[in-house]
Amino acid sequence: MRIAYFTDTFAPEVNGVTNTLSKLGTYLDGKNVRHLVFAPDYDGQNPHCDSSHRKVHRFKGITTSISPKSRLAFPSFWGIDEICDNFMPDVIHVTTEFGIGFRGMRYAQSRNIPLVMSFHTDYCKYLKYHNLEFMQPVLENYLAWFYRSSARTLAPSRHTLGELLRKGYRNLDIWSRGIDADTFNPGHRDETLRKTLGGGKFMFLYVGRLSAEKSLDMLLHAAAAIERRYPGRAVFVFTGDGPYIETIHNARLPNTVCTGFQRGADLSQMYASADCFAFPSGTETFGNVVLEAMASGLPVAAVAGGGVTDFLSHNDNALLCEPEDAEAFADNLVLMMENENLRSRLAGNGRQTALSRDWNCIFDGLFDVYLDAVEKDCRYSMRKSA
């Protein structure tokens, strides 16, 4: 089988989509499956990548104010056609709705190739955080039209699948997420890092994009409240980058630290060296970073909204509150500080939850989706020609 992937986000950009695609590429290489990736170029730092089974074709794009680290590219149709026609894919997998993703959808339609799409980001939920709510009807209509052409649309969680069903999407299935238990585990804890970041204080950690739609105002509210209640006893570490970093700096709270993006061993150490993972976002379609924190042995405080509800259960493997309830979220962080037994129980249960999600099983299921799409397309072609 030959598979062509079309994505508007790819390494070195760091997010749940790029991490998943990286893991998927390794899986396909291991199965000797030839695959082609169309992705943005990030300022010429990422040339075409070739291996025995995979080629990455990159295209220059533009930045946007909402996500300045991303690139939105619009390669020519004829350029895509020539490359793909030479590759002769059996399946097209589109992971994003704009730019390169749109080109992939159009190519699949023009060649009658089975098209699989995966829904990763609920952009409509983001609009209110950027004063763009007036665009929601237009965006909803575009997305409904875009996904209508897919033989199978994959949601990362039951929660997201349910929301898509309510909007009238069809041909839905779940493509969940896994965890690398070697990369993320408590053994990476580093006391030197703890002292560097907080001088031995109780360490709350957030990992992810620093942007308004992640409800980071709740985290700043909690940081201020805990500093008043426990002056000098806790530190809030923000690992990631994004436009909200200016708001964090302007708050001038003495107990906040911004580390920027972390990767590889540095990220593994960051997770394992904290005391609690604080994640206020209710807009996640899955929440990869939460699973990474749980595998690293951290108790989790989050909100009962979005894709994280697929694997988080209040007072079992996490403390949850209603989305946008800043006071309740701060109270849960205080509970984490005050109750070591609670932290230990939540962390133990959380790690077991994370370890139950194996990447290979998840990718085996995705490969079955590809095979099914090809088989159905063959049956349809036979009926049409009869």
Model confidence pLDDT, tens digit, residues 18-40: 889 999 999 999 999 999 999 99
Show the beta-strand stretches assigned E in the chain. Answer: 2-6, 34-41, 49-50, 54-62, 72-73, 91-94, 115-118, 152-155, 172-174, 202-207, 234-239, 256-258, 276-279, 300-303, 319-321
Average pLDDT of the residues of the chain: 91
The enclosing H or E element of 52 equals none
Average pLDDT over residues 129-156: 92
- Give the dihedral of Cα atoms 175, 177, 178, 184; nearest 10 deg: 170
More confident site: 38 or 43: 38
Show the beta-strand stretches assigned E in 124-171. Answer: 152-155
pLDDT reported for residue 382: 46
Q: Is residue 49 scored above 90 in pLDDT?
A: no
Model confidence pLDDT, tens digit, residues 346-359: 999 999 999 999 99
> Directed axis angle between helix 359-385 and helix 16-30, to 10°?
80
Burial class, 113, CB count within 10 angstroms (exposed 0-12 / middle 13-18 / buried 19+): buried
DSSP 3-state of 172: strand
DSSP 3-state of 200: coil
Model confidence pLDDT, tens digit, residues 178-228: 999 999 999 999 999 999 998 889 999 999 999 999 999 999 999 999 999
Q: Is residue 70 scored above 90 in pLDDT?
A: no
Average pLDDT over residues 146-161: 95
Average pLDDT over residues 274-301: 97
pLDDT reported for residue 386: 41
pLDDT reported for residue 15: 84
User: Which of 159, 188, 184, 154 minimizes the C-alpha distance to 171?
Assistant: 154
Average pLDDT over residues 270-298: 97
User: Which of 175, 226, 122 minimizes the C-alpha distance to 362?
Assistant: 175
Paired residues of 172 in beta bridges? 153
CA angle 161, 166, 167 (to 5 degrees): 95
Q: Is residue 53 scored above 70 in pLDDT?
A: no
pLDDT reported for residue 66: 63
Q: Sorting pLDDT into bands at 50, 70 and 90, what band is 385?
A: very low
pLDDT reported for residue 52: 53
